[in-house]
Amino acid sequence: MNEEYTISPLGDSALLIYFRNKIDDAINKKVLSIFNRLQKLSLPEITDLIPAYSSLAICYDVAALHQKNATAFDTMKNLLEPILEAADGQSLFTTRQMKIPVCYAKVYAPDLEALAFDKNLLAEEVIGLHLAITYRVYMIGFLPGFAYMGKVDNRIATVRKTAPVNVAAGSVGIAGEQTGIYPFASPGGWNIIGRTPIKLFDKQNKEPVLLQPGDEITFYSISEDEFENYQGGPS
């Protein structure tokens, strides 16, 4: 029995490989290492893979795996064993690095001053701390293309709002130790400190979602003028 993770049913058509209830780089790397391998294998029985901070869900075709004396769940679990053994936490792909422009001007940063006040910092210091770190995309969820990134500097880590408000597309926010970008206008509870002119979701693209789990992201600051005239993608 493996002590690192458990495998349990996630309903009757999926299973969950579950490490620990924790945001941890090493665990997330293992999750993504399994995810990469399964993506590469592209088994026809697997209909979806959903990696998260410290878990990976595998959705499968029950009819293709169910046997008279064995559940599809057990068959899938057995199929996974050698793959899980081989996944050593190393990614099979080169880590993608991306620079994303963010305008931190007041007009795009409705929560910046309150956050700074709350943390006993100047708005410029909050921006500086947000810019200083290379973030890792742990997972995509919540909305198409919404990347959960971390970890932010402890000095600007802050709790989610108690009630969601309307957030504009491109808004860059902080919740707990995470930072993220809203691909769509949406109700949300993250503290918004800036906005990117980049499209994180474009249905016309073959890959409609810009960021993927495992990406390394740094932000750079642009002016209001640059924001309004910005064209193209990340660098």
Partner 1 sequence: MSLKIIRAGLLDTIQDPGRYRHQHQGINPGGAMDCFSAALANALLGKELASPTIELHFPAAQVLFQQASIICLTGAYFTPMISDKEVPLHQPIIISNSTVLRFDKWGSGARCYLSILQNFTLDKWLNSYSTNLKGEAGGYKGRRLLKDDVLKFENAATLPITKDFETLPWQYRIEGTGSNEIEFIVGNEWSWLTTKSQAAFLNNEFSISPVSDRMGFRLIGEALEQGVNDSLVSSAVTFGTVQLLPNGQLIILMADHQTTGGYPRVAHITTTHLPKLAQMSTGDKVKFVMTDVYSAEKKLVAQQNYLRALQNTCNLKMQKRLNAN
Q: 5, 30, 33, 52: which one contacts partner 1 (CB under 8 A)?
A: 52
Contacts with partner 1: how many residues (CB under 8 A)?
Answer: 48
Distances (CA, A) of 183 to 49, 101, 120: 21, 14, 30
Q: By CB under 8 A, is residue 55 in contact with partner 1? A: yes
Angle (CA) 169 29 85, round 5° = 140
Q: By CB under 8 A, is residue 63 in contact with partner 1? A: yes
Among the residue ranges 10-18, 99-107, 110-118, 166-174, the one whose residues contact partner 1 (CB under 8 A): 10-18
Nearer to partner 1 (CB atom), residue 112 or residue 137: 137
Smallest CA-to-CA distance from 98 within 141, 140, 149, 142 is with: 149
Tokens standing for 148? Answer: 């959960």
Tell me the per-residue interface mask from 127 to 166 with partner 1, x by CB under 8 A, - otherwise: ------------xxxxxxxx-x------------------
Which long-range contacts link 153-160 to residues 24+ away (Cβ below 8 Å)? 153/129, 155/119, 155/121, 155/129, 156/115, 156/119, 156/121, 156/126, 156/129, 156/130, 158/115, 158/118, 158/119, 158/191, 160/189, 160/190, 160/191
Q: By CB under 8 A, is residue 208 in contact with partner 1? A: yes
Residue type at 91? S
Report yes or no: 193 and 118 within 8 Å, Cβ to Cβ.
no
Q: By CB under 8 A, is residue 73 in contact with partner 1? A: yes
Window 93-132: residues binding partner 1 (CB under 8 A): none
Q: By CB under 8 A, is residue 182 in contact with partner 1? A: no
Q: By CB under 8 A, is residue 181 in contact with partner 1? A: no
Nearer to partner 1 (CB atom), residue 128 or residue 189: 189
List residues binding partner 1 (CB under 8 A). 8-14, 16, 18, 21-23, 35, 47-57, 59, 62-63, 66, 71-73, 139-146, 148, 184, 201, 203, 207-209, 212-213
